[in-house]
Amino acid sequence: MTLANTPPHWSALTASAARIEATPSATLLGDDERNKDLRHTLAGCHFDFSRQRVDGQILRELLELTRVTDLAGKRDAMLAGEKINASEGREVLHTALRDGAPNAPALMREQVEQTRSRLYACAEAIRGGSWRGYSNRAIKDVVHIGIGGSHLGPELLVKALAHVPQSQVAPNIHFVANVDAQDISHALDGLNPETTLFIVVSKSFGTLETQVNAASARSWFLERTGRTDAIAQHFIGVTTNLQAAAEFGFAAENLFPLWDWVGGRFSLWSAVGLPILLQIGAQAFSQLLAGAQTADEHFASAEAAQNIPILAALLATWNTTALGCNSLAVLSYDQRLALLPDFLQQLEMESNGKSVDTNGQQLDYRTMQILWGGCGTNGQHAYHQLLHQGTSRFAADLIMVANDPWERQEHHQWLLANGIAQGQALAIGHRPTDPGEQHKYVGGQHPSTTVVLDELGPHQLGCLLAICEHKVFCQGVLWNINSFDQWGVELGKKLALPIFAQLEGQDSSAQDPATRRLIEYLSINRS
């Protein structure tokens, strides 16, 4: 269903939505020509959209939306470096980080190449043992401090690609994001400051959580060494605010730039990805970038009907705005992708979780779904019960890997069988004919996309994540929202500042009564 007063190009789809609601998924899946049109492969990544609840007519209507919204023109504007992030007056050129923006300014491309060269040299020094701490010992442990876009992408890829064969032993990489002291305490437990290196990532070098954790890391290091002069050997910074980082104690040669034209949630391809580079090495990291560039080139040139990120965006937007699917379950049928839902939560919900359009007008139609998920087959013994027999409207993405590097093929066959079966059950359901077994009724009719990677390698994963990025942009265009700001996030940060001061003893009377009572309760009951 649609909400009242939706834009004309969405209101026109109301009749189609009503018609498809009455069409069983089994009928749609019985049309093999339709199914063929909804399967696409790129760089070892296979996208099967055939279980989406669309027919040929709806596909044509959705493709017409790309013309109505000038999706191609806005795509070209982004790739050319126009300032499409209007609320912040910035370009959006994360594609330039993987050479996927050939029309980007020459200076920008030169900066990217210079930084990448320095980054590769830094990683080689750490991995090869020539980077030495203050006591002339090689680095064994790396603690990465960041949050949000500075954290989620690197942690996902470090863990997803840990199986990639290495010519050198990678350091142990620990991630710290939460301002909760338990997070950094756990990461530092048992580490030797002589062989520990910290990477602090903060675009502004003003992110509260990262500042607090970086200060604690610095204190931990100094308490154990007493060597202020050794900070430079044990701390690397990635930021746009080079001056603030220098005041912290970072050596200039150990600082890597970020740029305003790269949003945090699109930044894993930059110096933010140093932990990934440390884990997999320069050759594999280059393959990651190459996979993303393949997706960039496909997005820039393929016709809409064959353009994977455009199709993914059209179908996801259709599910949300026309069919009323308020939730998207990302189900990873590969343990190495356990963190993929976490990464996509930020990428998609921080980008498109908006209720104001690019003209500053309040929206009265649905935009971004609530994205969540987990690993199969674990979820099948938990929340899949609700998916199959609950009352909520949702869509699902199922992610599988055709081949795995282990020698337990029976495990993998069962994993794949379960992933395929779940997609089938979500679409077809089960309708018992015996009146005594109606408790076994499973409605089905839930739209889903199945993504199969030939293998979980850096090239395939780079391609997949870049497609997800482009899907986000396309959805923003279709909904007429700016996918590249995050003012809702900024509000929470702003409100926390006076509350912190009030928890420290300042007057809280200016707060609303509910907030004031919470502050008073915590102040009384903290030891």
Find how far residue 365's CA is from the centre of its chain. 24
> Cα Rg for the chain, rounded, in angstroms?
25
Residue 271, C-beta contacts closer than 8 angstroms, at least 6 positions apart: 115, 119, 238, 256, 257, 258
The ranges assigned to domains in the chain are: 24-83+302-426+455-479, 94-279, 487-525
Q: Given this model, what pLDDT does residue 449 score?
A: 98
Q: Given this model, what pLDDT does residue 247 score?
A: 86
Residue 373 structure tokens: 């998920």
Residue 334 structure tokens: 């590969």
Taking 70 as the pLDDT cut, the residues of the chain under it are 1-7, 527
Q: Given this model, what pLDDT does residue 6 score?
A: 63
* pLDDT tens-place string over residues 134-143: 999 999 999 9
Residue 46 and residue 396: Cα distance in Å, rounded? Answer: 16
CATH of 24-83+302-426+455-479, one of 3.40.50.800, 3.30.470.10, 3.30.9.10, 3.40.50.10490: 3.40.50.10490
Residue 34 and residue 305: Cα distance in Å, rounded? Answer: 12
pTM equals: 0.95
Give the residue numbers annotated as catalytic, written as ranges: 350, 381, 493
Residue 204, C-beta contacts closer than 8 angstroms, at least 6 positions apart: 239, 240, 241
Q: Given this model, what pLDDT does residue 400 score?
A: 98
CATH architecture of 94-279: 3-Layer(aba) Sandwich (3.40)
Residue 486, helix vs strand vs coil: coil
Looking at residue 195, the DSSP 8-state letter turns out to be G
